[in-house]
């Protein structure tokens, strides 16, 4: 694979753009995960396209990281390329249309949702307050139609640019993205969100900022933000709540190794005490089985698994 590495370095010439055997615990919100064979930072769409085409030519698997939230990487690590979006992918543009009373905004796929939400709020554009406390990137949020407190990406997105599995650029409308609860077409058709466009109504800057402050206060009161986690560990079952089912099954505080079910919010599995990915995975499996035994409902993970968990 030296030929692959050399070609990768020819595409990405900036120092530190290509790292080998990089510990993924440094790049995930769970703070666990073994080494990535290649950890690659791309700053332009052209670099991203060339990298994907190179991976395809050498049959090297690749995965785009986002902010490392909503992700559990195995202790054994990941073979292939982990892609991190930087540079132009972390920029945004916001334009006010005084005739329509709306703002049109574009955000790069690597931009933090929280940063984008605050940029909008400070300009007095409403409708994205729900995203201010979500620890993810714009691209990851589009891919899974992230949401909180009654708001979702599908409520405000108009279109997205993606780089396909073949390394080609493509624009998808909101309808073509097929956004639904924690789902988009990109979960079946592999692609990377490089840019996303949104439309927001103009509102009161003071009200929007106070709303964000209120939502963040609620998060701090109700969620175990003091511990590393991936956010909500399980999807919300139809007509119910994962945290409620887990609590009713008597699993609050249940611990395997350093991983625990949060007593503050049972929908969160947390890295309480130097957990391994194996600890977290086994606790997720245990919770899933016990909740099914108690309620007949089998929870589905919201957290994406990456790597080999059979070891």
Distances 204 to 39, 115, 116, 126, 142 between C-alpha atoms, Å: 42, 19, 17, 8, 26
Handedness of CA 175, 177, 183, 188 (dihedral sign): positive
Burial tier of 151 (Cβ tally within 10 Å: 0-12, 13-18, 19+): middle
The one catalytic residue among 69, 232, 236, 262: 232
Structure tokens at 189: 């058709």
Q: Following CA atoms 240, 242, 248, 252 in sequence, which dihedral angle do they give, to the nearest 10 degrees?
A: -160
**DSSP class of 264:** S
The yes-or-no answer on residue 302 being catalytic is yes
Determine the 3-state secondary structure of 227 from DSSP: coil
CA distance 230 to 136: 10
The gap between the terminal CA atoms of the chain, to the nearest Å, is: 25
310 in active site: no
Write out the two tokens for 67: 């902010």
As a whole number of angstroms, the distance between CA 308 and CA 76 comes to 7
Q: Using alpha carbons, select from 269, 264, 268 the residue that is nearest to residue 221.
A: 264
Q: Is 205 helix (H, G, I), strand (E, B) or coil?
A: helix
Q: Which of 47, 74, 114, 182 is an active site residue? A: 182
Q: Is 10 a catalytic residue?
A: no
Catalytic annotation, residues: 182, 232, 302
């Amino acid at each position: 694979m030296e030929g692959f590495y050399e070609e990768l370095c020819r595409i990405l010439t900036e120092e530190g753009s290509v790292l080998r055997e990089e510990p993924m615990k440094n790049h995930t919100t769970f703070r666990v995960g073994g080494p990535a064979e290649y950890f690659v930072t791309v700053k332009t769409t052209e670099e991203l396209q060339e990298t994907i085409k190179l991976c395809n030519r050498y049959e090297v698997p690749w995965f785009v990281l986002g902010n490392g939230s909503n992700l559990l990487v195995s202790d054994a690590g990941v073979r292939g390329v982990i892609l991190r979006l930087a540079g132009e992918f972390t920029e945004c543009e916001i334009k006010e249309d005084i005739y329509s009373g709306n703002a049109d905004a574009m955000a790069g796929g690597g931009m933090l949702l929280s940063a984008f939400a605050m940029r909008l709020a400070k300009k007095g554009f409403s409708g994205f307050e729900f995203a201010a406390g979500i620890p993810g990137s714009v691209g990851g949020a589009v891919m899974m139609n992230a949401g909180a407190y009654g708001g979702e990406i599908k409520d405000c997105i108009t279109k997205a640019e993606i780089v396909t599995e073949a390394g080609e650029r493509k624009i998808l409308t909101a309808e073509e993205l097929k956004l639904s609860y924690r789902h988009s077409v990109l979960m079946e058709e592999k692609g990377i969100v490089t840019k996303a466009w949104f439309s927001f109504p103009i509102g009161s800057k003071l009200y929007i900022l106070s709303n964000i402050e209120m939502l963040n206060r609620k998060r701090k009161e109700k969620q175990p933000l003091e511990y590393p986690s991936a956010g909500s560990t399980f999807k919300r079952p139809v007509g119910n709540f994962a945290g409620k089912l887990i609590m009713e099954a008597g699993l609050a505080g249940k611990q395997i190794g350093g991983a625990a079910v949060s007593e503050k919010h049972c929908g969160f599995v947390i890295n309480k005490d130097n957990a391994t990915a194996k600890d977290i995975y086994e606790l997720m499996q245990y919770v899933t089985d016990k909740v099914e035994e108690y309620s007949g409902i089998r929870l589905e993970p919201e957290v994406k698994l990456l790597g080999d968990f059979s070891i």
